Amino acid sequence: MVPSYDFDIQWLIPREVEADPAIGKLLRDVGLYGNSRGNYIALFRDPQVIAMVERADPVLREFLKASGFGFIPYQSGAPEGYFPAVDESARKDVIARLVDNLERFDLKGVDLGGFDVAVFFRVITRGQPMAESDTGREPAPAAARTPHVDPDLFATPTGFAKLTGRNRVMPLMVLALA
């Protein structure tokens, strides 16, 4: 089976949390608001690609890590060749870092474990944005909207009390694996 080099953006602090003015201010103060590089990570959709990276010479993993990638599978719901439009600026930033890091990391003659860098770049540069309604994800809240502030939310400094299930655990898992 041919691997899929598509990737998605996983927000470490979900955008719903940013919609709260008090939490938004805290996130701005520490540089994690909006499309900050510290607020998202690029994750491959296909576990087969992650397995190739793990088999490869460590320089490939370092190259991808320096470019903003994590190494657990994640699926946004977008079909192959597409990505959620809301992730476009973060995705462009990841691609720019990949290009910049090509000069810093020498991948020539290195065992890439089956990872094809040329195909990877071809696939990710051809990706097209699509409306979030087509991905099955809920759209990000509008910036002008003022949500109801839950007083219990302030009992937890990180705001994770507002999150549920996968959204609460995912940032910690990603940070532990990086």
Residue 102 lies in a domain: yes
**Residue 17, SS3 per DSSP:** helix
Tell me the percentage of the chain whose pLDDT exceeds 90: 52
Rounded Cα distance between 174 and 122, Å, is 26
pLDDT at 136: 57
Band of the pLDDT at 126, cuts 50, 70, 90? Answer: very high
The domain in which residue 84 lies consists of 7-132+148-177
What's the number of domains the chain is made of?
A: 1
In terms of Cα–Cα distance, which of 124, 159, 162 is closest to 45? 124
Please state the pTM of the whole predicted model. Answer: 0.68
Kindly indicate the confidence band of residue 162, based on its pLDDT and cuts at 50, 70 and 90: low
Q: Is residue 137 part of a domain?
A: no
1-36 pLDDT, tens digit per residue, is 678 999 999 988 777 777 788 887 887 787 766 656
| Residue 140 in domain | no
Residue 172 falls inside a structural domain: yes
pLDDT digit string (tens) for 53-76? 999 999 999 999 999 999 999 998
Residue 114 lies in a domain: yes
